[in-house]
A and B are shown apart, each in its own frame.
Chain A
Amino acid sequence: MSEEIKQVTNKKITLGNEIMTSREIDLHEPAWNQAELLERVDNDRELVRELLTIFKEDFPQTIGSLEAAVSSGDLKNSGSLSHTLKGMLSNLGGARAAAAAARLEELAGAGEIAALRGAFDDLEREAGRLLPELDAYMAEVRR
């Protein structure tokens, strides 16, 4: 995959003598891969609606708690909350936001407190792209 279609996160995490390359966000990947989600849930649109409802309820609180953990340099909670978000987002087909959450989880695990804020901002930006698409789908199925 060429460099121009990737936004490679600009930091590398040093662990002893090893260099761990952080996750990459594929810019060709849509913010929300609705088709992939539908395939995984046997094309059950009612279930997708139900899942989005759960997500809309859980996401604000989880990302709020994550932001508080990042702001206070709480590595343990930063790691566990970003792990939770990674699972939620990847289950929903939000691969880009999930990749951003995964990067934050890795940084927290590596003790990179200074890098947490930037990674959180990336996650927030990707979530900002995803949420309108989910809202649009919800509005459509309500009609």
Chain B
Amino acid sequence: MRILIADDEALSRRMLEKALERAGYEVTSVENGKQALEHLCKPDGPRLALLDWVMPELDGPGVCRAVRTRSEQTYIYMVLLTSKGSKEETVLGLESGADDYLTKPFNAEELRARLRVGERILLLEDRLVEARENMRFRATHDPLTSLLNRGAIMDLLGRELHRSQREQKSTAILLGDVDHFKRVNDTLGHVVGDEVLGEIANRLLASVRSYDFVGRYGGEEFLVVLNGCDPPYAPGRAEAIRKSVSNRPIQTVKGPLALTMSFGVLLSADWGPRSIEELLHEVDTALYQAKDAGRDCLRMAKPDAKTEAPQAALPQPARRAR
């Protein structure tokens, strides 16, 4: 594990380095508090630190206070080294944000034991962060396809809508539906249906850029948001995404399946002052038209210039023939 030593006194620094190298730490040493702060605030900086109390530029408690104000960082476990012995000073050191303190002259074995406490705290923090990230992923992703789920893609679409309006950029919304998917489930079973959805998710993701979004909107419906997509290029890109599904069969446990998708497409140039729900209603109408036109195609939404409230806030996929 990496550890930072900050001590202006060469003799003390060397003692610390040796004691910690012997314990297997990867040691970085600096001579003042300012340098210590620079190292600790790096994104990949050390997460364990031994800080002398009295140092030039910035003292140990000052480093602790500065580190603790940076809440976006992962936790850094900091031990103050002090020859100060009073209770008041100990309290002051801990109140500055230090996790522990060690009185000079230190004993190497005690130092290592205290740092092991720090490592346990950091390990606990890592586990908590990992658990939180897992929960966040589960809350925002579809378990079958690992795509963004409906809630997450709607959030991102909302943010993208505001951003594109603010920055005068073009965005395209694609709502796609797997043609005749019900037949797959009815004739080949849900296991094959799940395989199909997983493979389609992979193909959609592979056909967009890293800063575009793909989400599972519901059932066999997928929402694609193309950021920074200039209107003249949008139909071509939407067509390429559609063909990524139809251009080769999907391999399943019951054999290869030739499947297609239909898409409704809406360009930001045609958005006007509409809400997300209204925009999705428009793109769903275009998808409905693509289905009516024989499927395996896309239709561009052409919203009426006037703003009229839709019948329902959200699209009604059930009304469409699959």
Contacts and interface: CB of A to CB of B under 8 A. Distances in A.
A44 B12 contact: no
A84 interface: yes
Nearest to B56: A80
Interface residues of A, number: 22
Given A80-B54, A83-B54, A91-B15, A39 B83 contact: no
Question: By CB atoms of chain B within 10 A, which of A39, A40, A58 has the most?
Answer: A40
A47 B108 CA distance: 13
A91 B15 CA distance: 8
Contact of B14 (A54, A80, A86): A54
Contacts, number: 55
Main secondary structure of the interface of A (DSSP, over half): helix
A44 B18 contact: yes
Contacts of B54: 80, 83
Contacts of B10: 54, 58
Contacts of B130: none
A22 interface: no
Question: By CB atoms of chain A within 10 A, which of B14, B15, B107 has the most?
Answer: B15
A54 B108 contact: no
B106 interface: yes
Contacts of A86: 83
B104 A90 contact: yes
B65 interface: no
Contact of A84 (B8, B19, B106, B109): B8
A42 B108 contact: yes
Interface string B40-83: 00000000000000100000000000000000000000000001
A90 B14 CA distance: 14
A91 B108 contact: no
B105 A91 contact: yes
Interface string B1-19: 0000000111110110011
Contacts of B108: 40-42
A112 interface: no
Interface in A110-129: none
A68 B255 CA distance: 91
Contacts of A44: 18
A40 B107 contact: yes
A5 to B, nearest CB: 22
B14 A84 contact: no
A90 B19 contact: no
Given A80-B54, A83-B54, A54 B22 contact: no
B83 A88 contact: no
Nearest to A59: B11
B18 A90 contact: no
Given A40-B107, A51-B14, A54-B14, 10 more contacts: A41-B18, A41-B108, A42-B108, A42-B109, A47-B15, A47-B18, A50-B14, A55-B11, A84-B9, A87-B12
7 tightest A-B CB contacts, nearest first = A90-B105, A54-B11, A91-B105, A40-B107, A88-B11, A54-B10, A47-B18
Interface of B: 8-12, 14-15, 18-19, 22, 54, 83, 104-109
